[in-house]
Structure 1
């Protein structure tokens, strides 16, 4: 058991670091290619993310569950046959996905580019989508190998290969863009084409890492494999039916954010045009909405869901045992930990939007406005991830798909009319309403299935809101005083002000929540030790 827990911990750390790198690389990349050009990268980023989610989000987990199940039953041959036929199938799938994305690149670009006055042409958008599509040749096959090795209890190959893939991609992306722009005096469009191709190079790095582990672990795996007689073999139709059953709900959860962004990709520019907004700013607004501000907002979401998702296996365990009292206790703590971290972080980002956007990108009134209004969505993103995971934990995966489809339908119906009324804020509101519909359904189903009473959580949410208001006032007053002394007209000052204000907010929020006993209740003794070391409490 200890080796399994160790492997799971390594996998979690690797995935967390990979996600974090995937968020922060955009800041130096923005500095290299500039605000006016990064929108082109974003147009390829969304369809690529969807394809990547399909390949990565479901397959490793599905294959891992399948192999682990049949190994436990003594049928080691089932996993061998799956990886043998799956290798060919996933290679073909990758090639088909590559061809499909290339064929769809120009039609998709025609939908995205609504006016000749926009910053980019249809051809440029189509080219960047085609350049990123090369990664799809490698990723499905790589995902199969990751899942297969996980099925034998080897989590390290997945963790290390994902981390290597991300590091190689980012180094190639940033290094290539820098060389094209600053060394070879090339244009930023060429640099962006080069940068999206980095996804393919990163995938090769991940694949080579997996081959290293495959070679190392193959003797151990072959030692337990026995080729089953033909009449005892699991039919391929049953095999792949089971794989799809495992993977589809996971794929939907992984695709959630990207599908909401896809709706913006297909409707945003045309809705802005119908509102009479100048075509010159479509691309910039869209990129601020779905790339630049989103990267900042997702940082606390990753941290918060990391804390709360650790409690999810407990929900699964107690539900399987029929211990609903413990299920309710675990759900209470999950919701509270999530909101305790995410709510103040989201409001803090909203208040400090000007300094944060200035430091990470450049000073921009437009960017400040979008980030300030977009930041509260962090709460919705985190709640969606956790409620969807809980539904999977209690084996109600179909409702995850249903609720997400309702949310996407809500976003699709409301996006264009709300953009007509409110410009970019309309797209933000449509996203909030879409996620709100999904989360409401998830919580309602969880309540019905587990007979859950949210009275305790609602009281704690009210307390968290009051604490956040106090914190927000402290941060706001501190920021007013600092800017009155000297405006944050440089990146260094913007960073300094953001750190000081965030520190003041953390002290107020942490100290008051500690005095009320909330912090110790949710975060345990570790928070008490940290608070005492920082001399926030006695």
Structure 2
């Protein structure tokens, strides 16, 4: 019964995360139509430092709290989890206030680092300062909200987290789109003011999410208190021991979770100035940054989120197999995780790269930024494979209790990114940032893959053959997509958004059907996804 409850809860939570990510992708299209690429760049100036400081404020403690509470609840000690929760609320309040003050006060130095201030075109320093300060307010309540979610999850209750995440995202998006539209199109206000209020949406959305959690708390308070009264034991751990256990578990997780924000921070501090150093004006540099850090980045996260959501459900079983020293099952589970990532992400990333122009044109319009946005998307899309593999290999290392190597890999990758970013941007302009990110992730991934091979005794021979087969299918699919795209373009040239949509839909549809056909006919799809989609196994049996 407990296992079925946990599986159900995990499915609910996974679904909510996926819905939140999709909503977070969809809103960027109308938002970009309102504020443009310079507005997206300004939005990123505020959100990147906010994301980093939010991770500093929480330090992965909410996730660790869920593990801690679950552990002591299983021992019949509900009091210890409640004590940790009460003290955690104080800690999260303090860290929230401290990080809010840090970000609020550092807004001007950050602004001077990312924009020139002397160029009349593009975002002003005042715009950047206001944007950063508006988003910083969210730090006062998001850490507290995260802790409450962790406490509910510790009781194997995923509903409050799931519902609050979706409501938080919906409230945030409605606030952003409505207010920016009113400021820009009704009040004729500046893009800078509109984007500043858009980042304030993080605070408004968090209020919505926190309200949901408080409603759940009010409804369940009596039953939670009853559990404490019925506790079988009380370990009476001092707070110092509690937090020592928490931090030892949470720090590596929070650091690895910071991977993308830390990479974006490096770009935030170097991208514009490096481009301006090779002759770009500030406005042009910001357009390229907006296309790179927001528009293209959001699109490539689609295959990443789908693949990781499906593969991460295997990770709890990897942990169990490792603890039970079941090497045969562990090898099978790691192989299955790798296969799912490669099977889903590789064709999606390559297809998105090939269809960069119709994809960007459909979603962001055929304006002046079509060329720069599409070129960046074409080169950036394949990096989705590296993002997915890094996330999953880091999680596997967590499952086999070797998360320190994920941290080592991340640090090595960040050093590569930091040392090469300006140099490569100077040589290849905006694409240089993509090349630096790719080389950095390859470095991190090499360390993760080596560590899994060593500490899980994993043999890569089989997955190497599978990767070759998936790569062959992807190549054949790519040929089909290119041919179909060129034929359709003869009838529907990229003259308007509707034509771009037609080109994209037909190319994706026929390419996807061809890839699935090859995978089903050879039995590959059934072997990789048959446990999740039974009809794939039926196809294989029918063939045999």
Q: Is the pair's TM-score, using the shorter chain for normalization, greater than 0.5?
A: yes
Q: 1:483 to 1:416 in 2, by over 3 A?
A: same
Deviations 1:215-267 (A, max 9, x none): 11111111122599xx9621111111122112112211221111011100111
Unaligned runs of 5+ in 1: none
Mean alpha-carbon deviation: is it higher for 335-344 or for 521-530? 521-530
Relative to structure 1, the CA distance from residue 35 to residue 212 in structure 2 (aligned partners, 3 Å threshold; closer, same or farther) is: same
Q: Which residue of 1 aligns with 2:287?
A: 284
Using the alignment, how far apart are the partners of 2:538 and 2:86 within structure 1?
56
Measured after TM superposition, the shift of residue 19 of structure 1 is 1.9
- 2 CA distance for matches of 1:82 and 1:527? 41
Contact 2:39 2:290 in 1 (8 A): no
Task: Give the structure 1 partner of residue 16 of structure 2.
Answer: 14
Matches of 1:86 and 1:6, distance apart in 2: 27
2:365 aligns with: 362
The equivalent residue for 1:151 is 154
Q: Distance in 2 between matches of 1:526 and 1:72?
A: 30
Contact 1:446 1:452 in 2 (8 A): yes
**CA 1:532 to 1:369, structure 2 compared with 1: closer, same or farther past 3 Å?**
farther
1:260 paired residue among 263, 268, 271: 263
CA contact (8 A) 1:54 1:255 kept: no
Find the partner of 2:85 among 72, 83, 102.
83
Cα distance in 1, alignment partners of residues 126 and 502 from structure 2: 42
- Tell me how far apart the structure 1 counterparts of residues 30 and 409 of structure 2 sit (CA, whole Å): 37
Superposition map of 1:103-502 within 5 A: 103-114=105-116, 116-117=118-119, 118-226=121-229, 233-363=236-366, 364-502=370-508
Could you list the per-position Cα deviations for residues 469-491 of structure 1 after superposition, in whole angstroms to 9, with x for gaps in the alignment?
A: 11111110111111122312111
Rounded to whole Å, the distance in 2 between the matches of 1:30 and 1:531 is 43
Q: CA deviation at 1:94?
A: 1.1
Classify the secondary structure of the residue corresponding to 2:258: helix
SS in 2 for 1:34: helix
Separation in structure 2 between the aligned mates of residue 525 and residue 154 of structure 1, nearest angstrom: 26
1:523 lines up with 2:525 in the alignment: no
Aligned residue runs from structure 1 range 62-101, under 5 A: 62-101=64-103
Q: Quick check: 1:357–1:368 contact (8 Å CA) kept in 2?
A: yes
In structure 2, the CA distance between the partners of 1:420 and 1:34, relative to structure 1 (3 Å rule), is closer
Could you say which residue in structure 1 is the equivalent of 2:518? Answer: 512
**1:136-182 alpha-carbon deviations (Å, 9 max, x no partner):** 00011111111112112211111111111111111111111112222
1:27 aligns with 2:29: yes
TM-aligned CA deviation for residue 359 of structure 1: 1.1
SS at structure 2 position matched to 1:225: helix
Change (3 A) 1:284 1:222: same
8 Å CA contact 2:529, 2:536 repeated in 1? no
Q: 1-side partners of 2:12 and 2:224: how far apart? A: 21
Deviation digits for residues 358-379 of structure 1 (CA, Å, limit 9, x no counterpart): 1111221111100001000000
Contact 1:407–1:438 (8 Å) recurs in 2: yes
1:503 equivalent to 2:509? Answer yes
Cα distance between partner residues in 1 of 2:19 and 2:165: 9
How far does residue 527 in structure 1 lie from its aligned partner after superposition?
5.0
Question: 1:463–1:189: structure 2 CA closer, same or farther, 3 Å change rule?
Answer: same
Q: Distance in 1 between matches of 2:174 and 2:212?
A: 16
Distance 2:477 2:58 in 1: 39
**Cα separation, partners in 2 of 1:55 and 1:493, compared to 1, 3 Å:** farther
Output one character per residue of 1:166-203: Cα deviation in whole Å (capped at 9) or x when no partner: 11111111111112222333222221111111110000
Q: Distance in 2 between matches of 1:531 and 1:274?
A: 56
- C-alpha RMSD over aligned residues: 2.1
Following superposition, the deviation at residue 306 of structure 1 comes to 1.3
Q: Residue 532 of structure 1: CA displacement?
A: 8.8
Query: Structure 2: how far apart are the matches of 1:10 and 1:280?
Result: 43
Partners of 1:53 and 1:255 within 8 A in 2: yes
d(CA) in 1 for partners of 2:463, 2:56: 34
Report the alpha carbon displacement of residue 48 of structure 1 after superposing the two structures with TM.
1.9
- SS of 1:395's partner is coil
Distance in 1 between residues matched to 2:68 and 2:532, nearest whole Å: 38
Q: Tell me, yes or no, if the aligned pair for 1:77 and 1:227 is still in contact at 8 Å.
A: no
Q: What's the TM-score, normalizing by structure 1?
A: 0.95
Q: Distance in 1 between matches of 2:219 and 2:498?
A: 48
Counterparts of 2:106 and 2:147, CA distance in 1: 26
Which whole-Å CA distance do the structure 1 matches of 2:228 and 2:492 have between them? 70
